[in-house]
Amino acid sequence: MGELLKKAASEGYAVPAFCVWDAETIELVLKTADRVKAPVILMAGPAEFSVLSPAQLSQVASQSMRRHSVPAALHLDHGDSVEVAEACLAAGFTSVMLDYSTRPYEENASAMKQVVKMAHPLGVTVEGELGVIGRADGTSLEGGKTSSLTDPGMARDFVRETGVDALAISIGNAHGAYTRLPNLDFERLAELHSNVPVPLVLHGGSGTPAADLRRAISLGIAKVNVATDLVAKIRGTLMEQWNAGKNLWVPIALGAAIEATAPVVEKWFNNVGASGRA
């Protein structure tokens, strides 16, 4: 992932990271990336591991990646313990995130150093988070109950102390479905960009206006996480079919939902400027 983000940062676009949890969503994202010739990040975390374990997900992703020519990374999103990060490293993930952002700074930094020490000898990218990214709605499983914005000076020290390769920041973004448009603090983002020597990550991409995305990318955002848009489209398409008494055979309904979600994935490659970059 580090290589993908460095290239994106130097050329002025971002790489989208899509939440995946099974063979169907993995293939959907990679097939779309192939069609628009874009680099891509597949991501999954503890909530998604209820479907496939890290080892199983890695095996499925590896098989799918071999069928496609675009550069792709497999990323642990919001790892909630050092042990989960270690399991993903053992499974062959190419990047891992440990999210201790709701814990005290010292505990966050100490745990990040442990993960970096394990990951870097394997050539694996490490993402950290500083500042608490909150929840935009009541259904998101990720983020804090409230947000606290990332302090630029503290972020500089955190990256220097821990050795992380990418940093997720809080600038008014949130996880889940926005009930109103996000109010991103671009002045803070510019200061973070000038203080932090690694690519910056925007969580909670779903629902962010395209103009705001472009501005954020110009100020150092090199990775944009997308989950809610995909989940909402798949869930909504399934419900529409079943409420209409249509496609009650689950594989057929799921196939239709996956097909309906392809334009959403393609839109995100275009929104962050990744199309044609592979």
Active site residues: 77
Q: Identify whether the C-beta of residue 182 lies closer than 8 Å to the C-beta of residue 212.
A: yes
**Distance (Å, rounded) from C-alpha 252 to C-alpha 260?**
12
The answer for residues whose C-beta is within 8 angstroms of residue 220's C-beta and 6 or more apart is 9, 189, 190, 192, 193, 196, 199, 200
Q: Identify whether the C-beta of residue 14 lies closer than 8 Å to the C-beta of residue 224.
A: yes
Cα distances (Å, whole numbers) of residue 68 to 55, 58, 78, 210, 236: 20, 15, 26, 28, 28
**Distance (Å, rounded) from C-alpha 1 to C-alpha 94?**
7
Angle (CA) 138 140 146, round 5°: 70
